C-alpha cells in the first residue's frame, strides 16, 4: 500500500491545517497590535462613517463618495499610463539594443536620467516646466510623468529578457533569412515577453502605487482624496486603512490577471 492510498479524504483536508492556523495567528497578532496601538493613543474608532466616503445616497440614487471618486481617477491615470509605459519601455529597449549609436545614446540618456532622479521631481518638472510649454493638461502631464518613469524600468526588464535568450535563436533566424525586424517580431519578442511577464507585472503594481505621488500636482486621485478627508473628518486610521485596502484590492486583481495571462501563454512541454 502506498502512503497516499492510506490517507483518508478527511486527513488530506486536514493537511494544510497547521499552516492555516499559523497564518491566522499571525494575522490576529497584527490586528491586535494595531488595535492596542490605537487604544494607547486613546483613539476613538468610527468605522460607521467609512461607507459614506465610498458611496452616498443622494436624492437621485447612489453617488460616488470622495474615496471612490479618487479611486476612479487613480484607475484612469494608471490605466492610461500602463499601455504607454509598455510602448515606451519596448521602444527604449529596442533602441538600446539597436546598431545605431544615436538610438543607443538617446535610450541610455533617457534611462539614466529617469532612474537616477526622484519621481516627485520629474512630476514637478513635467507639470511646472513642460506642461505650460506644450499646453498639457494636469491629467496628461500626470500620465506622461508616470509612463516615462515606469517605462525606463520596463525597458531594462525587457532588455534583460531579450538578452537572456540563447544566441542560437538569433543564429537560426539569421540562417533562415529572416530580417532583423522579423526576428524580433516572430522569434525574439514572443519568447522575451513571456520571460518578462512576471517582472513587468511587478512594475505595473509599482505604477499603481506610484500614482499616489501625483497628488503633489493636485490631481485628486485616491491618496489626495484620502488626505483631504482625513483633515476634514479626523478619521485618520479608518480612512488610511480603507485607502490602503483599495490599493491592495486593485493590485491583487492586477496580479491575478497577470497570472492568468501567464498561464495562458505558458509554453507547452
Partner 1 sequence: MAFQADRCDPARAEAKVLGGVIVEARGLRKTFAGGIEALRGVSLAVRQGEVVVVVGPSGSGKSTLLRCLCGLETPDAGEVVTDGARLPGSRRDRDRIRTETGMVFQHFNLFPHLTALANVTLAPRLARGLPADRAEAEARALLGRVGLKDKTGAYPAELSGGQQQRVAIARALAMRPKVMLFDEATSALDPEMIGEVLEVMRGLAAEGMTMVVVTHEMGFAREAGDRVLFMDQGRIEEEAGAAEFFLSPRGERARRFLSRML
By the rule CB under 8 A, 268 interacts with partner 1: yes
- Single residue of 3, 101, 175, 263 touching partner 1 by CB under 8 A: 175
By the rule CB under 8 A, 135 interacts with partner 1: no
Q: Which stretch binds partner 1 (CB under 8 A): 20-28, 56-64, 98-106, 188-196?
A: 188-196
Closest distance to partner 1 from the beta carbon of 261 (Å):
15
Closest distance to partner 1 from the beta carbon of 106 (Å):
25
- Single residue of 50, 76, 178, 230 touching partner 1 by CB under 8 A: 178
By the rule CB under 8 A, 169 interacts with partner 1: yes
By the rule CB under 8 A, 176 interacts with partner 1: yes
CA nearest to 108, candidates 121, 95, 99? 95
- Single residue of 1, 168, 263, 264 touching partner 1 by CB under 8 A: 168
Which chain residues interact with partner 1 by CB under 8 A? Answer: 166, 168-169, 171-172, 174-179, 182, 186-187, 190-191, 194, 267-269
Amino acid at each position: 500500500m502506498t502512503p497516499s492510498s492510506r490517507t483518508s479524504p478527511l486527513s488530506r483536508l486536514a493537511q494544510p491545517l497547521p499552516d492555516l492556523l499559523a497564518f491566522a495567528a499571525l494575522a490576529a497578532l497584527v490586528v491586535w497590535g494595531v488595535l492596542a496601538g490605537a487604544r494607547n493613543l486613546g483613539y476613538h474608532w468610527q468605522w460607521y462613517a467609512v461607507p459614506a466616503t465610498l458611496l452616498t445616497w443622494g436624492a437621485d440614487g447612489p453617488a460616488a463618495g470622495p474615496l471612490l471618486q479618487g479611486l476612479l481617477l487613480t484607475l484612469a491615470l494608471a490605466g492610461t499610463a500602463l499601455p504607454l509605459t509598455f510602448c515606451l519601455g519596448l521602444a527604449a529597449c529596442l533602441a538600446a539594443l539597436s546598431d545605431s549609436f544615436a538610438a543607443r545614446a538617446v535610450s541610455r540618456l533617457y534611462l539614466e536620467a529617469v532612474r537616477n532622479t526622484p519621481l516627485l521631481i520629474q512630476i514637478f518638472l513635467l507639470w511646472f516646466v513642460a506642461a505650460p510649454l506644450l499646453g498639457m493638461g494636469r491629467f496628461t502631464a500626470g500620465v506622461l510623468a508616470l509612463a516615462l518613469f515606469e517605462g525606463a524600468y520596463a525597458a531594462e526588464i525587457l532588455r534583460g529578457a531579450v538578452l537572456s535568450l540563447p544566441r542560437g535563436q538569433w543564429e537560426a533566424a539569421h540562417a533562415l533569412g529572416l530580417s532583423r525586424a522579423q526576428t524580433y517580431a516572430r522569434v525574439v519578442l514572443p519568447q522575451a515577453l513571456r520571460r518578462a511577464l512576471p517582472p513587468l507585472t511587478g512594475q505595473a503594481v509599482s505604477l499603481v502605487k506610484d500614482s499616489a505621488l501625483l497628488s503633489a500636482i493636485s490631481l485628486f486621485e485616491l491618496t489626495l482624496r484620502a488626505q483631504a478627508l482625513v483633515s476634514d473628518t479626523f478619521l485618520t486610521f479608518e480612512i488610511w486603512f480603507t485607502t490602503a485596502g483599495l490599493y491592495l484590492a486593485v493590485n491583487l486583481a492586477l496580479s491575478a490577471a497577470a497570472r492568468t495571462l501567464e498561464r495562458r501563454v505558458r509554453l507547452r512541454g
